[in-house]
Amino acid sequence: MTNSIKEIEHNDVLLIIGSNTTEAHPNIGQKMKQAARRGAKLIVVDPRKIELVDYAYLWLPITPGTNVALINALMYVIITEGLTDKEFIETRTEGYDELWSVVKNYAPEMVQELTGVPAEKIYEAARTYATTDRAGIFYTLGITEHTSGTNNVMNLANLAMITGHVGKEYSGVNPLRGQNNVQGACDMGALPNVLPGYQSIADAEVRERFASAWNCEIDEKFGLRIPEMIDFAAGGYIKAMYIMGEDPALTDPNINHVRKALANLDFLVVQELFISETAKFADVILPGASFLEKDGTFTNTERRVQRVRQVLTPRGESKPDWQIICELATKMGYPMSYNSPAEIMDEIADLTPIYRGIRYNRLEGDGLQWPCPTIDHPGTKYLHAGQFPRGKGLLQGIEYQPPAELTDEEYPILLTTGRMLYHYGVTTRRSASLESFRPEEFAEVNPEQATALGVKTGDKVKVVSRRGELITKVRVTKRVKPGMMFMTYHYKESPVNILTNAAFDPITKTAEYKVTAVRLEPVNK
Amino acid sequence: MVNITIDGKQMTVEEGKTILEVAKANGIYIPTLCYHPKLRPIGSCRLCLVAIEGREKPVTACNTPVAEGMVVRTSTPEILEMRKGIINMILSMHPEDCLTCEKAGNCELQECAYNLGVKKGTLPLEAQELPVLKENPFIVRDYNKCIACGRCIRACKEVQCQRVLDLVGKGSEARAGATVGDQEITLEEAGCVFCGNCVQVCPVGALLEKDSLGKGRQWEAKKVRTVCTFCGVGCNLEVNVKDDHIVRVRGYENPLVNDGWLCVKGRFGNDFVESPERIKRPLIRVGEKGEGKFKEVSWEEALDYTAKRLQEVKDKYGKQSIAAFSSARCTNEENYLMQKFMRAVIGNNNIDHCART
């Protein structure tokens, strides 16, 4: 997030796009509902009639995969009606003319059929967002999990920049991060192209600094991203894998392919709490300790580094993951030894400019938001004040590209996927209360499809995509439009990623989890 | 700023504050039950009555703002009698089961009775036996203990914005219930999302965490502040532990992230950590890949074997033949070490995690 969670209390307009916040980020969703209660206007862009729609000033029921066209149309209205922030465009950005050369072809009337959003709603949303001072954008995976994911994010940045809604308190572009420490894992350089603090592998000076600190050579070749690792394992080029705390055999797209890749490895070591779907393919499973059994830090969606404290002793003989990695490294001839996570953070701070001021003794209170460049720096509440990392913000015109997979006669229904309130990844299936409350999938289908198929809530259907099929119970509901359906990814008994498409955004390699063409078939009850 | 006097103590205080807030900040005790610092004050329990010079009737301190020249007395003999009367009436309709009540030791009714010296309810009121509802796996509602203070109703409306609960019934049957017409409905039917924030604000034992029953009283538990793992918001938890087991989870009162509030997963879902399905010892595969058959081995054996096999692959196929998934569920320190392991020990940059999901 460029802003902080607390700033939501002062937003007058919240443009919420591709985020079912009350289920996926409940406590931020709660703050959004409170904002609506005190009179702030919520503009909800979502294909489903999610809970936030009940609190919304405007609901734009977008057809999945058409975000770029819709955002272009919003900008079209803002530009043609003279609602831009001309001073911000002039002093803080470049590329405006190029942006307009693309956006000018996206009048609301031109995109209403494609996006499923009536033109008048696009006009009203654009005016409301542009003419309000404290206007924030909030998005999650409904924006990124598309082959156009990077374009969607860049286009939201365009929208924020032409209205001057970024780089200040209460206005910004706010991705809500899904996993508890996905922000931190990125910050720590658990990525194939950057070292800790987003320092590029391509930079020889950076490599030299880390090589000298770690007493090793740093390979200058960018590493593989997860989908490439999977493809290379299936192709026999990757021979061994070390997987810590992830379950790609359930959660990655097109899991039949993932499972073949894992089975093809010479050696797989998995570090986990449970025998996950992935761990079933392992040669060795190392029992990690849970977050309640160790010390450390997580970095939340607003860049706040917070202390994780040990509450319980590790169950069984499990060990904190940091200890396991140290022991394995040492056995492989690279001595790695720390007395505590605090010592590891000291090393991180030494090597990572945005974390340089972060020390455990400073985290006893409410944590620190990076960038925190010095030992007495108070942390940073909102980003991009005064200037962007590259200097001027680059406005780039972006053309709409259709999703990788479209519905047709054989696969007429558009399946989109996501989370639900009562489950998260794989851990909640092991919570007795949550599991007893929501033990199985109820795929959401529109009454039109249900009638055509002759099914009612609680009945089973077969869902078939170009890659696989599964059987699930359905809930008949108008939450989804006719021609659409929705499933979660939580249930291994009806693993939705058998169906999903492993087509990726070309830059981030994020899969198009949000658009899969399927058909429904009845099953014998 | 305004000048006021409370119990003979003169002070200059911020305008807009209530008498109760000023008194609390200055260490002057005024008992309360329906008041909660994060909810709209409604003055319904009337325990916080105070006398103001020049006014005929006492006022409720929780929702009366301070004013210039105000002279307040918090515990005149008349007011103390009124307060005792209120507690006496509540206790007369309240089960006298403090010995076994989950809330004992952390019960605000107990605290008021203690501070006012009311030993028991003496009024001849007939308390109706009301249901104890356990229809969902998260929250137990014991209506016999409900004192109709309305805190849960306000938390549901003002904080969670769900409006599930309402004040229903009269006299000893008055309670915060979920009803349609006069008919009791389940919380789920009423649109509850089981955040449990109502449980957290309940001053008595009327709303409790189902999974915590019998696991230990408040004073027995060690309370540790940590961070939730069920999404990226980073809500602060206060985990209550006894004998190395989780007793209950409450929201830690940090104003910057979750302000003490939680969702259903953060409050009720952390028992996954204590699941019997946890892997207890290192395992080496004995069955086919994907079959899930393993044998337990020692750490020494598991790590030796892993190190040997990784080294063999590296020697045979080169350093680019190994890849690693780090974890968005693990700590910063662990992610840092995982990427360091791949870069310094294996020698490549094949490190990634579900950064985009």
- Phi and psi (nearest 5°) for B251? -75, 135
CATH of residue B338: 3.40.50.740
Task: Give the CA distances from residue B116 to residues A147, B32, B83, in Å, rounded to whole numbers and listed in that order.
Answer: 67, 12, 8
Residue B32 forms part of a structural domain: yes
Query: What are the b/e assignments for B94-118, b being 16+ CB within 10 Å?
Result: beeeeeebbbeebbbbbebbeebeb
**Cβ distance of A312 and B336 shorter than 8 Å:** no
Residue A405 forms part of a structural domain: no
**Which pLDDT tens digit goes with each residue over B205-225?**
999 999 999 999 988 999 999
Choose the final residue of a domain: A176, A196, A212. Answer: A176
If pLDDT is split at 50, 70 and 90, which confidence band does A336 have?
very high
Residue A446 forms part of a structural domain: yes
* Rounded Cα distance, A35 and A40, in Å: 5
* Rounded Cα distance, A106 and B167, in Å: 52
Decide if pLDDT at A525 tops 90: no
Decide if pLDDT at A348 tops 70: yes
Residue B274 and residue B193 share a domain? no
Nearest to A230 by CA among A245, A244, A243: A243
* Rounded Cα distance, A262 and A284, in Å: 13
Choose the final residue of a domain: B214, B236, B265. Answer: B214
C-alpha count within 13 angstroms, C-beta hemisphere, residue B83: 29
Residue A403 forms part of a structural domain: no
Residue B69 and residue B161 share a domain? no
Cβ neighbours, 10 Å, residue B42: 16
How far B126 CA lies from chain A's nearest CA (Å)? 36
Residue B181 forms part of a structural domain: yes
CATH of residue A217: 3.40.50.740
CB B357 within 8 A of CB B327: no
Residue B254 forms part of a structural domain: yes
CATH of residue B260: 2.20.25.90
How many folded domains does chain A comprise? 4
Residues in chain A: 525
Residue A317 forms part of a structural domain: yes
pLDDT at A274: 95
Residue B290 and residue B273 share a domain? no
Residue A393 forms part of a structural domain: no
- Enter the tokens of residue A37: 């209660």
The CA radius of gyration of chain A, in Å to the nearest whole number, is: 24
Q: Tokens 């929250």 label which residue?
A: B139
How many folded domains does chain B comprise? 4
Residue B102 and residue B43 share a domain? no
Task: Give the CA distances from residue B231 to residues A24, A26, A398, A431, in Å, rounded to whole numbers and listed in that order.
Answer: 7, 9, 31, 16
Q: Where are the alpha helices (DSSP H) in A38-131?
A: 67-80, 86-92, 96-103, 108-115, 119-130
Nearest to B109 by CA among B22, B40, B174, B206: B206
Residue A204 and residue A344 share a domain? yes
Residue A437 and residue A339 share a domain? no
Residue A170 and residue A114 share a domain? yes
Q: Angle between the A67-80 and A149-162 helix axes, to the nearest 10 degrees?
A: 20
Which residues, other chains included, contact B167 with Cβ-Cβ below 8 Å and sequence gap of 6+? B148, B150, B153, B174, B175, B176, B177
Beta bridge partners, B228, equal none
CB A469 within 8 A of CB A462: yes
Decide if pLDDT at A512 tops 80: yes
Residue A229 and residue A219 share a domain? no
pLDDT at A425: 76
- Domain residues for A295? 182-223+288-369
Residue B80 forms part of a structural domain: no
Residue A391 forms part of a structural domain: no
How far A397 CA lies from chain B's nearest CA (Å)? 23
Query: What are the b/e assignments for B126-157, b being 16+ CB within 10 Å?
Result: eeeebeebeebbbbbbbbbbbbbbbbbbbbbb
Choose the final residue of a domain: A176, A194, A210. Answer: A176
Residue B88 forms part of a structural domain: no
Contacts within 8 Å (CB) and 24+ apart, A338-346:
A340/A295, A341/A294, A341/A295, A341/A296, A341/A297, A341/B331, A341/B333, A342/A295, A344/B333, A344/B336, A344/B337, A345/A297, A345/B332, A345/B333
- Domain residues for B201? 97-107+117-214
Choose the final residue of a domain: B188, B214, B240. Answer: B214
Mean pLDDT, rounded, for A497-522: 89
Residue B287 and residue B274 share a domain? no
Residues of A in contact with B221 (CB under 8 A): none
Q: Which of residues 378-417 of A touch B (CB under 8 A)?
A: none
Residues of A in contact with B137 (CB under 8 A): 432-434, 436-437
Q: Which residues of chain B have pLDDT under 50?
A: none
If pLDDT is split at 50, 70 and 90, which confidence band does A132 have?
very high
- Enter the tokens of residue A474: 């359905």
Residue A10 and residue A72 share a domain? yes
How far A464 CA lies from chain B's nearest CA (Å)? 24
Residue % of chain A over a pLDDT of 70 = 100
Residue B308 and residue B254 share a domain? no
Residues of A in contact with B163 (CB under 8 A): none
* Rounded Cα distance, B70 and B68, in Å: 6
Residue A280 forms part of a structural domain: no
Residue A204 and residue A335 share a domain? yes
- Phi and psi (nearest 5°) for B279? -75, 125
Residue A510 and residue A475 share a domain? yes
Q: What angle do CA B228, B226, B40 make, to 5 degrees?
A: 75
Residue B262 and residue B158 share a domain? no
Cβ neighbours, 10 Å, residue B244: 11
* Rounded Cα distance, A127 and A140, in Å: 23
* Rounded Cα distance, A61 and A121, in Å: 10
Beta bridge partners, A474, equal A443
Q: Which of residues 272-301 of B touch A (CB under 8 A)?
A: 272-275, 277-285, 289-292, 294, 299
pLDDT at B266: 97
- Phi and psi (nearest 5°) for A75? -70, -35
Which residues, other chains included, contact B83 with Cβ-Cβ below 8 Å and sequence gap of 6+? B31, B47, B49, B112, B116
CATH of residue A466: 2.40.40.20
Residues of A in contact with B313 (CB under 8 A): 239-240, 266-267
Residue B183 and residue B132 share a domain? yes
ipTM of this predicted complex? 0.95
Residues of B in contact with A226 (CB under 8 A): 325, 352-354
Residue A158 and residue A119 share a domain? yes
Residue A45 and residue A139 share a domain? yes
- Enter the tokens of residue A382: 């909102």
CB A238 within 8 A of CB A248: no
DSSP notation for B89-136? HHHHTS---TTT-TTTTS-HHHHHHHHHT--S--S---PPP--EE--S
Indicate the burial class of A205 (C-beta count within 10 angstroms; 0-12, 13-18, 19 or more).
exposed
Choose the final residue of a domain: B278, B307, B328. Answer: B278
Residue A467 and residue A345 share a domain? no
Residue B16 forms part of a structural domain: yes
Nearest to A103 by CA among A395, A394, A403, A399: A399
B262 contacts chain A (CB < 8 A): yes
* Rounded Cα distance, B33 and B20, in Å: 12
Residue B207 forms part of a structural domain: yes
pLDDT at B357: 54
Decide if pLDDT at A208 tops 60: yes
A266 contacts chain B (CB < 8 A): yes
Choose the final residue of a domain: A145, A176, A207. Answer: A176
Mean pLDDT, rounded, for A122-148: 94
**Cβ distance of B246 and A311 shorter than 8 Å:** yes
Residue B67 and residue B7 share a domain? yes
Residue % of chain B over a pLDDT of 90 = 88
Cβ neighbours, 10 Å, residue B82: 15
Residue B242 and residue B192 share a domain? no
Residue B230 and residue B254 share a domain? yes
pLDDT at A386: 86
Residue B90 forms part of a structural domain: no
Residue B250 and residue B236 share a domain? yes
**Comparing A85-99, A510-524, B219-233, which segment has the lowest mean pLDDT?**
A510-524
Residue A340 and residue A209 share a domain? yes
**Which pLDDT tens digit goes with each residue over A234-246?**
999 999 999 999 9
Interface size, chain A vs chain B, as Cβ–Cβ contacts under 8 Å: 493
* Rounded Cα distance, A378 and B144, in Å: 50
Q: Tokens 């203990």 label which residue?
A: B145
CB B177 within 8 A of CB B144: no
Residue A283 forms part of a structural domain: no
Residues of A in contact with B309 (CB under 8 A): 240, 266-267, 269, 283-284
Residue A235 and residue A142 share a domain? no
